[in-house]
Copies of this chain bind each other. A is one copy, B any other.
């Protein structure tokens, strides 16, 4: 089994803070790199961390709030300057292509590689990506705009003893952001090794949380507990809460195997 590694490039919510940039992460699975969300500054953090983009072929965008997609145009533009040849596939709500195409046409003329948009339906749980070793399916979420999480499943080909093989599912990583508390996702993420679930607010801001259709750290932990996942990583912190330890504390009371996402940190999944 290959190593699964998650790199947090940004784990703040919409309002950037001293500590946090908008959403973005890199999941390394089976020697491939998958990007999940791409808020402003994601490419800058990639560069500052010295991470390579040669194995980055696929980007999954949960929804079209700016803090999850404003970084795409800058990233693509930079990849072009690096004379990249491999196509870049972007899986997102159909509106993203309508918004990005005019920018690409203007700012990225003669781009050295192809940007391929794959329109996904965030309301439906379905496989949107599959290769020999990894599959990715959508997890419909409840937010102010159409939004879905993504479940990454590592596949393993095992000899069947008769010269053939069968495919066994192995490690799984689920990304659920942005969303209010919804138990509808439980059957989709049950038993997942690692769940990233947004935890925008602490209990103190429960009202604000409901209004903005986000989750509290406690709610994220309740989902983790009910889905019996291996570990929970929380993130997408509101600018209202300075002390991130509070998020962790409130989540751990419900689900002890909780980790707190921190920018530029890497996690085994």
Residues of A within 8 A of B (CB): 14-18, 21-22, 40-41, 43-44, 47-48, 50, 64-66, 70-71, 73-74, 77-78, 81-82, 95, 99, 102-103, 106-107
Across the A-B interface, the 3 shortest Cβ-Cβ residue pairs: A40-B74, A16-B47, A41-B41
- Least Cβ–Cβ distance between A201 and chain B, in angstroms: 15
With A15-B81, A16-B47 in contact, is A70–B74 under 8 Å at CB?
yes
Q: What copy number does this chain have within its complex?
A: 2
Query: What's the least CB distance linking A181 to chain B, in Å?
Result: 23
**Centre residue among A21, A71, A107 by max chain B CB count within 10 A:** A107
Of all chain B residues, the one with the shortest Cβ separation from A106 is B99
Q: A15-B82, A65-B107, A99-B103 provided; 20 other pairs, C-beta below 8 A?
A: A14-B78, A14-B81, A15-B81, A16-B47, A18-B47, A18-B48, A21-B44, A22-B74, A40-B43, A40-B74, A41-B41, A64-B106, A66-B73, A66-B74, A66-B77, A66-B107, A70-B74, A70-B77, A99-B102, A102-B102
**Set B18, B78, B99: member contacting A15, Cβ < 8 A:** B78
Question: A66 contacts which chain B residues (CB < 8 A)?
Answer: 73-74, 77, 107
- Chain B: which residue is nearest A76 at the CB level? B66
Would you give the shortest CB distance from A73 to chain B, in whole angstroms?
6
Minimum C-beta distance from A109 to chain B (A) = 11
A106 neighbours in B (Cβ, 8 Å): 64, 95, 99
Closest to A19 in B: B48
Give Cα distance in the complex from A73 to B95, angstroms. Answer: 17
Q: Which residue on chain B has the smallest CB distance to residue A21?
A: B44
Q: How far is the CB of A69 from chain B (nearest CB, A)?
A: 9
Whether B48 contacts A107 by the Cβ 8 Å rule is no
Contacts of A74 in B (CB 8 A): 22, 40, 66, 70
Residues of B within 8 A of A48 (CB): 16, 18
